[in-house]
Amino acid sequence: MLARTPGDEAHDSSGTVDHGTQERVARWALSGRVNNMRGMQAPLTVIDLFAGCGGMTQGFVEQGFTPVQAVEHNLAAAATYAANFGEDHMYWGDIADFGDDDIPDADVVIGGPPCQGFSNLGSKDVEDPRNQLWKQYLRFVQVAQPRVFVVENVDRFSKSAEFQLLHAQTEAGGMLEGYTLQSDVLLAANYGVAQRRPRTILIGSRIGKVSLPEATHSRLPTLTTREWETVRSRIGHLPERPETTDLPNTKVEYFGRTVPGEFKPRDLHFGRRPREMSLQRYDCIPPGGGRFDLPDELLPRCWREKPTGTTDVMGRMRWEAPSLTIRTEFFKPEKGQYLHPQWDKSSPARRVNRVITHLEAASLQDFPEDFKWCGSKIEIAKQIGNAVPVGLAAAIARHLRQQLQAG
């Protein structure tokens, strides 16, 4: 079976890789995401649930895994996945409607059930229907019987009631009987991602204890880690002033439906039209700063009456540090630290007073330069913000591959 990769290259059933993929793997090797192609010939298969646009699949494909099934209920996200990895193994629809008989065997099952209920921004309601979808994830694991599975979620998930119920399923008679679980909250920046994004990673194994990957990067380099990647390393080469504010007017068909796309990465480098008041506010905020740098006359009433809390809003990134978490509304400066990092204290002409573009957000999420996108501006923003950083997924995949090949 062929699994299409972002550049239309393919891994075939023998595990061989064509020249286009070899060139891209060489680029990833320079960034530390892939060491080399040696030892990557054994075909390993993966199922991606709640796959979104395919950030986690991308990381696993980079490490030589072949996707054999993906499930995603959002049409635009499923179309983006299909554009990059193939439509044949993507199921667009409700995961509950996917029959047991159609679940293929796989070495690894990966996925992150929707996390809004666990998020600090969400309801934290255990009965929230979104928090029950992990049971569908367990159904796939029970049927596919992967050697290893990976659950990815927000950092609060590790302290939730659902997390404890998940552990309980490993007991006799449970859906995860025979699996041992290991989990921790991993910071994406510690794995070569230019983003301080904490995520709970849980690994289940029925081939013996499988540890989580060791950090490859740290704020200060050590004997075993390199220094954190920076915002500059991901977006410093991109034009400071986008030439357009719109996506191209193109359409593509997936799953018998027409959606906007396919868009090349540079199509996502579009700007916005902020109000004059917004531009004045942006101009006051230095790198690492935020709403507390605004003079009283530029403060909206809601912030003037709330002198504490929400420290990162209306924030400006720093060139020489990772970004903070890229959320789904990164195009709104009042939602986080999303202003472009270029700002010169002594030269107003050398200030870039805008939020990051969709392309810059995708780059900070480590999507490769040939990744294709489908959907509206808002739909693509949600895909980017909801994705697992590709570099973190690749680090997990590389670690699991070593464990699976040694087992």
Is 51 a residue whose pLDDT tops 60?
yes
Bridge partners (DSSP) of residue 205 are 148, 180
> What is the Cα–Cα distance from 58 to 39, expressed in whole angstroms?
19
Q: What is the mean pLDDT of the chain?
A: 87
User: Which distant-in-sequence residues (6+ apart) come within 8 Å of 89 by Cβ?
Assistant: 1, 3, 67, 68, 69, 70
Is 369 a residue whose pLDDT tops 60?
yes
User: Which distant-in-sequence residues (6+ apart) come within 8 Å of 232 by Cβ?
Assistant: 319, 320, 341
Torsion of CA 187, 185, 137, 400, to 10 degrees: 70
- pLDDT for position 33: 55
Catalytic-role residue among 53, 115, 302, 374: 115
Mean pLDDT of all residues in 326-354: 96
Query: pLDDT-based confidence at 15, cuts 50/70/90?
Result: very low
- pLDDT for position 128: 56
Q: What are the residue ranges of CATH 3.90.120.10 in the chain?
A: 234-383
- The per-residue pLDDT for range 70-84, each reduced to its tens digit, is 999 999 999 999 999
Is 28 a residue whose pLDDT tops 70?
no
Looking at domain 234-383, what is its CATH homologous superfamily?
A: DNA Methylase, subunit A, domain 2 (3.90.120.10)
Is 222 a residue whose pLDDT tops 50?
yes
Q: What are the residue ranges of CATH 3.40.50.150 in the chain?
A: 3-218+388-406
Mean pLDDT of all residues in 182-204: 97
- The per-residue pLDDT for range 125-148, each reduced to its tens digit, is 545 555 578 789 999 999 999 999
Query: pLDDT-based confidence at 193, cuts 50/70/90?
Result: very high
At the second CATH level, the architecture of 3-218+388-406 is: 3-Layer(aba) Sandwich (3.40)
> What is the Cα–Cα distance from 395 to 407, expressed in whole angstroms?
19
Structure tokens at 128: 């929230």
312, 336 contact by CB (below 8 A): yes
Q: Between residues 353 and 162, which one has the greater pLDDT?
A: 353
What is the bridge-based pairing of β-strands 373-374 and 257-263? Answer: antiparallel
Among 129, 134, 69, 130, smallest CA distance to 99 is for 69
- pLDDT for position 14: 37
> What is the Cα–Cα distance from 236 to 109, expressed in whole angstroms?
35
Structure tokens at 236: 């410093």
- The CB density around residue 52, as the number of other CB atoms within 10 Å, is 25
Q: Between residues 30 and 289, which one has the greater pLDDT?
A: 289
Residue 180 burial by Cβ neighbours in a 10 Å radius (0-12, 13-18, 19+): middle
Give the torsion sign (CA, 14, 15, 18, 19): negative
Q: Which of 161-175, 265-279, 317-331 has the lowest average pLDDT?
A: 161-175
Is 173 a residue whose pLDDT tops 80?
yes
Mean pLDDT of all residues in 85-108: 97
Is 17 a residue whose pLDDT tops 60?
no
Is 62 a residue whose pLDDT tops 60?
yes
> What is the Cα–Cα distance from 99 to 395, expressed in whole angstroms?
31
- pLDDT for position 4: 31
Mean pLDDT of all residues in 204-223: 96
Residue 309 burial by Cβ neighbours in a 10 Å radius (0-12, 13-18, 19+): exposed
> What is the Cα–Cα distance from 314 to 334, expressed in whole angstroms?
5
User: Which distant-in-sequence residues (6+ apart) come within 8 Å of 300 by Cβ?
Assistant: none
- pLDDT for position 21: 41
- pLDDT for position 166: 84
> What is the Cα–Cα distance from 235 to 269, expressed in whole angstroms?
11
Query: pLDDT-based confidence at 301, cuts 50/70/90?
Result: confident
- pLDDT for position 154: 86
Among 316, 366, 376, smallest CA distance to 342 is for 316
Q: Is 115 an annotated catalytic residue? A: yes
274, 292, 316, 342, 356 from 332: Cα distances, Å: 10, 17, 12, 17, 9
Mean pLDDT of all residues in 184-213: 96
Structure tokens at 363: 């780059």
Instruction: Let me know the angle formed at the C-alpha of 363 by 362 and 366, rounded to the nearest 5 degrees.
Output: 95
